Amino acid sequence: MGKWVKNFSLFFVFLTMVYEIYGNQGLQIKNRSKTPRTFNFVLSQKSQSQQSSNFRDLLCTENYISLIQKKDSEKTDSIFANTSDEKILQSLKQSESKMIKVLMVLWHGETDAERGFLAALKAMGYLVVLTVINADRDLKHLRQALHFEINCEDYDYIYTFGTRVSLIVSEYVNNKVPIVFNAVGYPAKSGLVEDDMGHNSINDGGNFSGVGVAAPMFMQLKNMQKVLKVTHLAVLVNPQEQNSLDTLSMIKDVTPSFGIIVERFDVTNEKEIFLALTKIQSASIPFDAIYIPSGSPFTENSKVISDFGCKEKIAMIGEKEGMICDGALMGTVAKYRECGQLAAEIVNIHRRYRIAMAHIPVQYPKFYCIINQEVTETLGVHPNPEKINFQWANT
């Protein structure tokens, strides 16, 4: 009975994939359910005129491969060929020395980090055989997908996005295949690595390294004070997210230097966001700013939070560039595409120079102070370019 149910479930998933691919105008996935889907495709080099910037447009069944050129362009020009095509198979065989098989495990779909990662690998001459698991922000389904999909012998590298996904995947893999993590706020504090040199906190010589994305908190708050005069700061915290707790800890370590009083507001889901914002709004001592950390449920609801700030004339400090584009006033942030490029460089160093992953230091990108110009007008804030080096957000 159990075997029949399993076979039926797999058949149902196959039918769902076929419908998604061929029923929604070719390859666009428009109605995303909570079930994580795994797609396999091959990325190889073509002429410079054939470009793509969004690999979701290239999802296909495992009976097909997609040969594309990844570039920094919005234009999509892809070719699909059956794997039985002798010319394609011959091309893959000739490129075997530069071929790498990558499992990409994502929390909420592809971002500029993944596009930067793939584009950089392509520029280095690698042929990437890519399998994608998108958890769609669902832990239960993420674990189910990992249970059925992770066979370490099938992959050369596993790319993970975010702290939560990286920690969960590391449990399943247990050092059997190199992991390159990306968009992890605090790699050492989260316990993912022992220190910023990338050592595993459980076993010496852990088989992973990656990219940290959180700006130093002193830099974050110093830039904030150059634009605002904050004395009372509200910090949204998800007690179920280690990154969020680490952010609060570092804010409390730094704020005494700036004379800032910090108050914590716990939020674990979308409904609690409104409760927290209502408490902030009705506080006896008004807040000058609200700090929005990365992670759930803040990233996916940053526009709602920022809209509240604009309405109530409270500045929002975002920990991710997307939050500022959504309406937060400012933040000192990393650019995801650059993070993806650094992750690709880790793969290249490991593969080209045979350096153990544990000996490749955790990489950190350049941090930028990004300010939303429209929000400055709404709040009546006027950043002085002589006091702070900043960029306007691309809204």
Question: Could you count the other beta carbons within 10 Å of the beta carbon of residue 111?
Answer: 21
Query: Do the beta carbons of residue 327 and residue 309 sit within 8 Å?
Result: yes
Paired tokens of 17: 């994939």
User: For the ranges 45-59, 156-170, 224-238, 316-330, which has the lowest average pLDDT?
Assistant: 45-59
Q: How far is CA 193 from CA 145, 219, 230, 287, in A?
A: 24, 23, 34, 36
DSSP codes, 132-200: EEE-TT-HHHHHHHHHHH--GGG-SEEEEESHHHHHHHHHHHTTSS-EEEEEES-TTTTTSSSSTT---
CA dihedral (56, 59, 97, 347) in degrees, to 10, reads: 30
Q: Are residues 185 and 286 in the same domain?
A: no
Please report whether residue 262 resides in a domain.
yes
Q: Total structural domains in the chain?
A: 3
Q: What percent of the chain has pLDDT over 90?
A: 63
In DSSP terms, 371 is beta-bridged to: 330, 392
Q: Are 25 and 38 in the same domain?
A: no
Q: What is the pLDDT of residue 190?
A: 85
Both 285 and 315 in a single domain?
yes
Report the run of H or E that residue 234 belongs to, with start and end. Answer: strand 232-237
Q: Computed over its alpha carbons, how large is the radius of gyration of the chain?
A: 22
Q: What is the mean pLDDT of residues 11-27?
A: 41
Bridge partners of 105, per DSSP, are 133, 160
Domain co-membership, 157 together with 99: yes
308/228 same-domain check: yes
330 vs 332: CA distance, rounded Å = 7
Domain limits for position 21: 1-30
Mean pLDDT in residue range 273-283: 96
Identify the three-state secondary structure at position 276. helix
pLDDT digits (tens, 9 = 90+) for 37-79: 444 444 433 323 333 344 433 333 232 233 322 333 333 332 2
| Residue entry with tokens 């159990």 | 2
Per the domain annotation, does 394 fall within a domain?
no
The CATH number of whichever domain residue 192 belongs to comes to 3.40.50.2300
Indicate the pairing of strand 127-134 with strand 38-43.
antiparallel
* Residue 383 preceded by cis peptide, ω within 30: no
* 274 domain residue, yes or no: yes
Are 25 and 39 in the same domain? no
Pick from 217, 180, 231, 195: which is nearest to 319 by CA? 217
Mean pLDDT value across the chain: 80
Q: What is the phi/psi pair of residue 17, to 5°?
A: -60, -45
372 located within any domain:
no
Q: Are residues 46 and 22 in the same domain?
A: no
In a domain, 387, yes or no: no
Judged against a pLDDT cut of 70, whether residue 19 lies above it is answered with: no
How far apart, in Å, are the Cα atoms of 223 and each of 85, 251, 317, 363? 56, 14, 10, 22
Predicted model pTM = 0.77
Q: 189 and 172 share a domain?
A: yes
